[in-house]
């Protein structure tokens, strides 16, 4: 399905992407495309939606956010750094031997990370479990799980969707980073997902579509109070590599290693002009 995508980035989105490049420079590698398609989603969650506290990151009343597509972790790391959960200087240690910031997020190592993810298809099941636990314990929080579109090839995603609907998890929101490119090609060629909205509706989800780079639209849709007992699914149409013109929609940029000084300069120049 086509969907109009915001073209220009504002100063905050560019700032966050430059923090991502700090991590890419430190590690000389990273999932660039997957990171850049996520920035506005995480920006809005951390700026406007989540009830969290850097001084008490394990507050039992907190909202939870799980990045199931763990390879896009730099996007979450930069927001955790921006909010003071970790130091911005730590970003530059990304993927170093003694760093807390690995190529996938790890619970217990990185403050604010709720689940160790990256084995795709598992984060949604963990999020459903957390949402059930909140219901049992009568905690009125929200659980957000961010998945990739390639990731929803996994059957465990749809098993989790059945469970979320069965248990009437109106405290659960799934966000699909629908950039339409997975690790080695376009989703339409590998395993076509459409009609994706209808699929989630048929699983009992209240389902919305949104421009995943439009900050105001994301804020509006994520702020909506659930009027039913249904879990919520948000199909966020994004561009893989958004803000890096030469990497946008390019499967070859899914994961880049051995990034050199010139590569980093080109990345920063691209963000500046985005």
* Whether pLDDT at 125 is above 80: yes
H/E stretch holding 65 reads: strand 64-67
DSSP 3-state of 182: strand
Give CA 65 to chain center in angstroms.
Answer: 9
Q: Tell me what the mean pLDDT of segment 150-164 comes to.
A: 97
Query: 11-272 is classed in which CATH architecture?
Result: 3-Layer(aba) Sandwich (3.40)
Count CB atoms within 10 A of the CB of residue 84. Answer: 12
Nearest to 147, CA basis, from 251, 225, 37: 37
Output b/e per residue, 101-140; b: 16+ Cβ within 10 A: bbbbbbeeebebbbbbbbebbbbbbbbbebbbebbeeeee
* Whether pLDDT at 2 is above 80: no
Give CA 257 to chain center in angstroms.
Answer: 21
Do residues 204 and 230 lie in contact, with contact meaning Cβ atoms separated by under 8 Å?
yes
Q: Tell me what the mean pLDDT of segment 20-36 comes to.
A: 95
User: Domain extents for the chain?
Assistant: 11-272
Nearest to 150, CA basis, from 241, 264, 251, 57: 251
* Average model confidence (pLDDT) across the chain: 95
Q: Tell me what the mean pLDDT of segment 144-157 comes to.
A: 97
Count CB atoms within 10 A of the CB of residue 98. Answer: 5
In this prediction, residue 1 carries a pLDDT of 46
Do residues 79 and 105 lie in contact, with contact meaning Cβ atoms separated by under 8 Å?
no
Q: Which residue has the tokens 């009830």?
A: 51
In this prediction, residue 4 carries a pLDDT of 73
Separation of alpha carbons 207 and 84, rounded Å: 33
């Amino acid at each position: 399905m086509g969907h109009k995508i915001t073209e220009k980035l504002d100063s905050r989105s560019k700032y966050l992407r430059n923090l991502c490049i700090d991590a890419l420079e430190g590690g000389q590698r990273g999932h660039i495309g997957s990171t850049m398609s996520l920035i506005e989603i995480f920006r809005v969650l951390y700026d406007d939606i989540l009830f969290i506290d850097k001084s008490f990151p394990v507050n039992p009343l907190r909202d939870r956010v799980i990045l199931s597509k763990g390879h896009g972790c730099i996007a979450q790391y930069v927001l955790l750094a921006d909010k003071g959960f970790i130091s911005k200087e730590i970003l530059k240690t990304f993927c170093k031997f003694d760093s807390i910031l690995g190529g996938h997020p790890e619970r217990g190592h990185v403050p604010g990370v709720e689940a160790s993810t990256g084995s795709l298809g598992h984060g949604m099941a963990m999020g459903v479990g957390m949402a059930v636990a909140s219901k049992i314990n009568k905690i009125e929080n929200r659980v957000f799980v961010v998945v990739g579109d390639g990731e929803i090839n996994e059957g465990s995603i749809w098993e989790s969707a059945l469970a979320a609907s069965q248990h009437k998890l109106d405290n659960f929101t799934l966000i699909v980073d629908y950039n339409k490119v997975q690790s080695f090609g376009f989703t339409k060629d590998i395993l076509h997902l459409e009609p994706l909205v209808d699929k989630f509706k048929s699983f009992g989800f209240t389902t919305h579509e949104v421009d995943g780079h439009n900050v105001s639209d994301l804020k509006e849709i994520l702020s909506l109070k659930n009027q039913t007992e249904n879990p919520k699914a948000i199909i966020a149409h994004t561009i893989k590599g958004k803000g890096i013109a030469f990497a946008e929609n390019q499967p070859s940029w899914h994961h880049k290693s051995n990034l050199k000084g010139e590569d980093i300069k080109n990345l920063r120049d691209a963000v500046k002009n985005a």
